[in-house]
Structure 1
Amino acid sequence: MKQSKKISLFIVFTLIFGVIAVFHESRLGRWIDNEVYEFIYTTESFITTALMLGFTQVGEVLSMVLLSLIVIAILMLYRLNFHTLFFVIAMTLSSILIPVLKNSFDRERPSILRLIEISGFSFPSGHAMGSTIFFGSLMTIFKHTDINYKALIMSLCAAFIVMISSSRVYLGVHYPTDIIAGIIAGLAVLTFTSIVMHKELKASPYSL
Structure 2
Amino acid sequence: MINTKRPPRDTLWAGAIFTLIYAAWAVLVSSNAEFIQNFDKTIINLVCNNDPANVAFAKTFTNLGNTSTILIETIILFIILIVFKQYPYAWFTAGTMIAANGYNWVIKHAVERARPAVHHLVYADGFSFPSGHSVGSAALFGILIVLTILLIKNKFWKTLLIIIWALFPLLIGYTRIFVHVHYPSDVFGGWLEGITFVLLGYSFLYHYYIEVKLMEQRA
Give aligned-pair identity as a percent: 24
For residues 138-157 of structure 1, what are the alpha-carbon distances to aligned partners after superposition, in whole Å with 9 as ceiling and x for unaligned?
Answer: 11011111355111111111
Q: Is the 8 A contact 2:67 2:132 kept in 1?
A: no
1:5-84 equivalence runs, <5 A: 6-24=11-29, 25-41=32-48, 43-84=49-90
User: Take 1:161 and 1:64, find their aligned partners in 2: how far apart are those partners?
Assistant: 11
TM-score, length-normalised on structure 1? 0.90
Partner of 1:126: 132
User: Take 1:54 and 1:40, find their aligned partners in 2: how far apart are those partners?
Assistant: 17
Q: Is the 8 A contact 1:83 1:201 kept in 2?
A: no
1:95–1:18 CA distance, 2 compared to 1 (3 A): closer
User: Take 1:62 and 1:131, find their aligned partners in 2: how far apart are those partners?
Assistant: 12
Partner of 2:173: 165
Q: Which runs of 5 or more structure 2 residues have no equivalent in the other structure? A: 1-7, 215-219
Please state how far the C-alpha of 1:95 moved relative to its aligned partner.
2.7
Size of the alignment, in residue pairs?
Answer: 201
User: Take 1:48 and 1:39, find their aligned partners in 2: how far apart are those partners?
Assistant: 13
Partner of 1:103: 109
Q: Residue 103 of structure 1 aligns to which amino acid in structure 2?
A: H
User: Take 1:72 and 1:147, find their aligned partners in 2: how far apart are those partners?
Assistant: 21
Please state how far the C-alpha of 1:197 moved relative to its aligned partner.
0.8
Q: Is the 8 A contact 2:142 2:165 kept in 1?
A: yes
TM-score, length-normalised on structure 2? 0.86
Please state how far the C-alpha of 1:112 moved relative to its aligned partner.
2.3
Moved over 6 A (4+): none
| 1:152 equivalenced with 2:152 (yes/no) | no
- Segment drifting more, 63-72 vs 100-109: 63-72
For residues 154-208 of structure 1, what are the alpha-carbon distances to aligned partners after superposition, in whole Å with 9 as ceiling and x for unaligned?
Answer: 111100010011110111011111111111111110111111111424658xxxx
User: Take 2:195 and 2:61, find their aligned partners in 1: how far apart are those partners?
Assistant: 20
Q: Is the 8 A contact 2:101 2:135 kept in 1?
A: no
